Amino acid sequence: MQLFQIPFSHNCVKVRRALDLKGLAYETVDINPARRGNVKRASGQELVPVLVEHGRPTAGSTPILLEVEERHPDPPLLPADERERAECIVLMEWADAQLMALTRRMAYFRVLSGSGADLGKLFFPSHPGAVQRVGGSTAAVILRRRFGISAEQDRKDLEEAKRVAAVAVDRLGGEEHLVGEQLTLADITLAAMAAPLQYTEVAGDPAMRALLDWSRGVMGDEFTPPQVRVAAA
Protein backbone atom coordinates (compact mmCIF):
# COMPACT_ATOMS: atom_id res chain seq x y z
CA MET A 1 0.00 0.00 0.00
CA GLN A 2 1.45 3.36 -1.08
CA LEU A 3 0.14 6.82 -0.22
CA PHE A 4 1.20 9.52 -2.65
CA GLN A 5 1.02 12.73 -0.66
CA ILE A 6 2.06 16.28 -0.04
CA PRO A 7 2.97 15.69 3.61
CA PHE A 8 1.44 18.88 5.04
CA SER A 9 -1.76 18.79 2.97
CA HIS A 10 -4.74 18.43 5.30
CA ASN A 11 -6.38 16.07 2.81
CA CYS A 12 -3.35 13.80 3.08
CA VAL A 13 -3.23 14.17 6.85
CA LYS A 14 -6.85 13.03 6.95
CA VAL A 15 -6.03 9.83 5.07
CA ARG A 16 -2.95 9.11 7.17
CA ARG A 17 -4.98 9.41 10.36
CA ALA A 18 -7.58 6.92 9.14
CA LEU A 19 -4.94 4.43 7.95
CA ASP A 20 -3.13 4.66 11.27
CA LEU A 21 -6.32 4.17 13.27
CA LYS A 22 -6.95 1.01 11.27
CA GLY A 23 -3.44 -0.21 11.93
CA LEU A 24 -2.65 -0.55 8.24
CA ALA A 25 0.93 -0.63 6.98
CA TYR A 26 1.67 1.77 4.13
CA GLU A 27 4.54 3.55 2.46
CA THR A 28 4.38 7.29 1.85
CA VAL A 29 5.62 8.77 -1.42
CA ASP A 30 6.14 12.50 -0.93
CA ILE A 31 5.27 14.67 -3.93
CA ASN A 32 6.82 18.06 -4.52
CA PRO A 33 3.89 20.42 -5.21
CA ALA A 34 5.80 21.85 -8.16
CA ARG A 35 6.67 18.45 -9.70
CA ARG A 36 3.87 15.88 -9.87
CA GLY A 37 5.15 13.39 -12.40
CA ASN A 38 5.22 10.49 -9.92
CA VAL A 39 1.60 10.80 -8.90
CA LYS A 40 0.49 11.31 -12.51
CA ARG A 41 2.26 8.13 -13.57
CA ALA A 42 0.66 6.24 -10.69
CA SER A 43 -2.90 7.51 -11.12
CA GLY A 44 -3.31 9.32 -14.44
CA GLN A 45 -3.89 12.68 -12.73
CA GLU A 46 -1.85 15.13 -10.65
CA LEU A 47 -3.82 15.66 -7.43
CA VAL A 48 -3.05 14.11 -4.04
CA PRO A 49 -3.73 12.11 -2.03
CA VAL A 50 -3.62 8.92 -4.09
CA LEU A 51 -3.63 5.51 -2.44
CA VAL A 52 -2.34 2.56 -4.44
CA GLU A 53 -3.23 -0.88 -3.09
CA HIS A 54 -2.37 -4.03 -5.04
CA GLY A 55 -1.64 -1.83 -8.06
CA ARG A 56 -5.05 -0.15 -7.97
CA PRO A 57 -4.99 3.66 -7.49
CA THR A 58 -7.73 5.64 -5.76
CA ALA A 59 -7.53 9.45 -5.91
CA GLY A 60 -9.12 11.93 -3.53
CA SER A 61 -9.35 11.79 0.24
CA THR A 62 -13.05 10.91 0.57
CA PRO A 63 -12.99 8.18 -2.11
CA ILE A 64 -9.87 6.77 -0.44
CA LEU A 65 -11.47 6.72 3.01
CA LEU A 66 -14.62 5.00 1.74
CA GLU A 67 -12.58 2.49 -0.28
CA VAL A 68 -10.38 1.69 2.71
CA GLU A 69 -13.45 1.24 4.89
CA GLU A 70 -14.90 -1.24 2.41
CA ARG A 71 -11.67 -3.25 2.05
CA HIS A 72 -10.56 -3.02 5.68
CA PRO A 73 -13.70 -2.71 7.82
CA ASP A 74 -12.02 -3.38 11.19
CA PRO A 75 -11.97 -1.35 13.28
CA PRO A 76 -14.99 0.37 11.73
CA LEU A 77 -14.89 4.10 11.04
CA LEU A 78 -18.40 4.22 9.61
CA PRO A 79 -21.51 3.44 11.70
CA ALA A 80 -23.26 0.13 11.15
CA ASP A 81 -26.71 1.76 11.28
CA GLU A 82 -27.73 2.84 7.75
CA ARG A 83 -29.16 6.21 8.79
CA GLU A 84 -26.12 7.05 10.88
CA ARG A 85 -23.86 5.87 8.08
CA ALA A 86 -25.58 8.20 5.61
CA GLU A 87 -25.40 11.08 8.11
CA CYS A 88 -21.69 10.43 8.59
CA ILE A 89 -21.01 10.67 4.85
CA VAL A 90 -23.11 13.86 4.56
CA LEU A 91 -21.10 15.45 7.39
CA MET A 92 -17.85 14.44 5.69
CA GLU A 93 -18.95 16.24 2.55
CA TRP A 94 -20.09 19.27 4.57
CA ALA A 95 -16.76 19.58 6.37
CA ASP A 96 -14.84 19.35 3.10
CA ALA A 97 -17.06 21.89 1.37
CA GLN A 98 -17.05 24.39 4.23
CA LEU A 99 -13.46 24.18 5.41
CA MET A 100 -11.08 22.60 2.89
CA ALA A 101 -10.37 25.64 0.68
CA LEU A 102 -11.04 28.13 3.48
CA THR A 103 -8.53 26.85 6.02
CA ARG A 104 -5.91 26.07 3.38
CA ARG A 105 -6.09 29.66 2.13
CA MET A 106 -5.88 31.04 5.69
CA ALA A 107 -2.87 28.88 6.56
CA TYR A 108 -1.02 29.82 3.38
CA PHE A 109 -1.73 33.50 4.02
CA ARG A 110 0.12 33.26 7.31
CA VAL A 111 3.05 31.35 5.82
CA LEU A 112 3.24 33.91 3.01
CA SER A 113 3.32 36.71 5.59
CA GLY A 114 6.66 35.31 6.77
CA SER A 115 9.80 34.84 4.72
CA GLY A 116 10.18 32.98 1.45
CA ALA A 117 12.40 30.55 3.33
CA ASP A 118 9.43 29.44 5.46
CA LEU A 119 7.54 28.34 2.38
CA GLY A 120 10.72 26.94 0.83
CA LYS A 121 11.23 24.65 3.83
CA LEU A 122 7.74 23.22 3.30
CA PHE A 123 7.94 22.80 -0.46
CA PHE A 124 11.63 21.93 -0.83
CA PRO A 125 12.65 20.32 2.48
CA SER A 126 15.62 18.36 1.12
CA HIS A 127 17.17 21.26 -0.84
CA PRO A 128 19.87 23.73 0.28
CA GLY A 129 18.83 26.98 1.92
CA ALA A 130 19.49 29.05 -1.20
CA VAL A 131 17.18 26.85 -3.27
CA GLN A 132 14.56 27.02 -0.54
CA ARG A 133 14.63 30.82 -0.55
CA VAL A 134 14.35 31.15 -4.33
CA GLY A 135 11.83 28.32 -4.62
CA GLY A 136 9.80 29.70 -1.76
CA SER A 137 9.58 33.14 -3.35
CA THR A 138 8.46 31.62 -6.66
CA ALA A 139 5.93 29.39 -4.93
CA ALA A 140 4.54 32.39 -3.05
CA VAL A 141 3.65 34.14 -6.30
CA ILE A 142 1.98 31.01 -7.66
CA LEU A 143 0.00 30.37 -4.48
CA ARG A 144 -1.32 33.92 -4.27
CA ARG A 145 -2.57 33.72 -7.84
CA ARG A 146 -3.93 30.18 -7.65
CA PHE A 147 -5.87 30.56 -4.40
CA GLY A 148 -6.67 34.28 -4.47
CA ILE A 149 -4.72 34.97 -1.28
CA SER A 150 -4.73 38.54 0.01
CA ALA A 151 -5.18 40.48 3.23
CA GLU A 152 -8.72 41.45 2.23
CA GLN A 153 -9.63 37.85 1.43
CA ASP A 154 -8.16 36.73 4.74
CA ARG A 155 -10.36 39.16 6.66
CA LYS A 156 -13.38 37.67 4.94
CA ASP A 157 -12.10 34.14 5.52
CA LEU A 158 -11.67 34.76 9.25
CA GLU A 159 -15.30 35.82 9.61
CA GLU A 160 -16.45 32.79 7.64
CA ALA A 161 -14.26 30.50 9.74
CA LYS A 162 -15.90 31.85 12.88
CA ARG A 163 -19.33 31.11 11.43
CA VAL A 164 -18.45 27.57 10.37
CA ALA A 165 -16.76 26.84 13.68
CA ALA A 166 -19.88 27.92 15.55
CA VAL A 167 -22.02 25.59 13.41
CA ALA A 168 -19.62 22.70 13.98
CA VAL A 169 -19.49 23.23 17.76
CA ASP A 170 -23.30 23.49 17.90
CA ARG A 171 -23.54 20.24 15.92
CA LEU A 172 -21.24 18.49 18.37
CA GLY A 173 -23.38 19.80 21.22
CA GLY A 174 -20.79 18.91 23.82
CA GLU A 175 -20.53 15.29 22.65
CA GLU A 176 -17.25 13.62 21.76
CA HIS A 177 -18.39 12.54 18.30
CA LEU A 178 -20.51 13.89 15.47
CA VAL A 179 -22.42 10.66 14.90
CA GLY A 180 -23.08 7.95 17.47
CA GLU A 181 -20.74 7.13 20.33
CA GLN A 182 -17.61 6.09 18.42
CA LEU A 183 -15.02 7.87 16.31
CA THR A 184 -16.03 7.97 12.64
CA LEU A 185 -14.76 9.32 9.34
CA ALA A 186 -16.94 12.39 9.92
CA ASP A 187 -14.92 13.25 13.02
CA ILE A 188 -11.62 12.69 11.21
CA THR A 189 -12.70 14.81 8.26
CA LEU A 190 -13.93 17.75 10.33
CA ALA A 191 -10.88 17.65 12.59
CA ALA A 192 -8.42 17.47 9.68
CA MET A 193 -10.13 20.29 7.79
CA ALA A 194 -10.25 22.48 10.91
CA ALA A 195 -6.66 21.82 12.03
CA PRO A 196 -5.06 24.57 9.85
CA LEU A 197 -7.00 27.10 11.93
CA GLN A 198 -4.33 26.54 14.60
CA TYR A 199 -2.15 28.95 12.63
CA THR A 200 -4.72 31.77 12.85
CA GLU A 201 -5.79 34.24 15.54
CA VAL A 202 -8.41 32.23 17.42
CA ALA A 203 -7.90 33.58 20.95
CA GLY A 204 -10.89 35.89 20.75
CA ASP A 205 -13.34 33.36 19.35
CA PRO A 206 -14.67 30.67 21.72
CA ALA A 207 -16.11 28.49 18.94
CA MET A 208 -12.84 28.36 17.02
CA ARG A 209 -10.93 27.53 20.20
CA ALA A 210 -13.41 24.80 21.09
CA LEU A 211 -13.29 23.31 17.61
CA LEU A 212 -9.49 23.24 17.65
CA ASP A 213 -9.38 21.65 21.11
CA TRP A 214 -11.77 18.94 19.93
CA SER A 215 -9.82 18.46 16.67
CA ARG A 216 -6.57 18.03 18.58
CA GLY A 217 -8.10 15.11 20.46
CA VAL A 218 -9.29 13.47 17.25
CA MET A 219 -6.07 13.91 15.27
CA GLY A 220 -3.47 13.12 17.92
CA ASP A 221 0.08 13.56 16.63
CA GLU A 222 -1.24 14.42 13.17
CA PHE A 223 -2.90 17.62 14.46
CA THR A 224 0.30 19.47 13.56
CA PRO A 225 2.03 17.40 10.83
CA PRO A 226 5.70 16.64 11.56
CA GLN A 227 6.75 18.40 8.35
CA VAL A 228 5.19 21.65 9.55
CA ARG A 229 6.88 21.37 12.94
CA VAL A 230 10.25 20.88 11.24
CA ALA A 231 9.71 23.79 8.83
CA ALA A 232 8.73 26.08 11.69
CA ALA A 233 11.76 25.15 13.80
Q: Are 199 and 157 in contact (CB under 8 A)?
A: no
* Whole-angstrom distance, CA of residue 61 vs CA of residue 76: 17
CB-based contacts of 49-56 (< 8 A; 24+ apart in sequence): 49/3, 49/4, 49/5, 49/9, 49/11, 49/12, 49/15, 50/3, 50/4, 51/1, 51/2, 51/3, 51/4, 51/15, 51/26, 52/1, 52/2, 52/4, 53/1, 53/2
Q: Which CATH number fits domain 2-71: 2.60.120.260, 3.40.30.10, 3.40.50.2300, 2.40.10.10?
A: 3.40.30.10
Ramachandran angles phi, psi of 214, nearest 5°: -65, -45
Distances (CA, A) of 227 to 30, 105, 106, 182: 11, 18, 18, 29
CATH number of 82-232: 1.20.1050.10
pLDDT in tens, the chain (233 residues): 999 999 989 999 999 999 999 999 999 999 887 788 999 999 999 999 999 999 999 999 999 999 999 999 999 999 999 999 999 999 999 999 999 999 999 999 988 886 555 777 777 776 677 766 777 778 788 888 989 999 999 999 999 999 999 999 999 999 999 999 999 999 999 999 999 999 888 878 999 999 999 999 999 999 988 666 544 44
Residue whose C-alpha is closest to residue 8's, from 106, 107, 91, 143: 107
5 - beta bridge partners? 30
Q: What is the pTM of this model?
A: 0.91
Q: Would you list the domain boundaries of the chain?
A: 2-71, 82-232
Tell me whether domains 2-71 and 82-232 share a fold: no
Which pairing describes strands 2-5 and 27-30: parallel, antiparallel, or unpaired?
A: parallel
What's at 156, amino acid-wise?
K
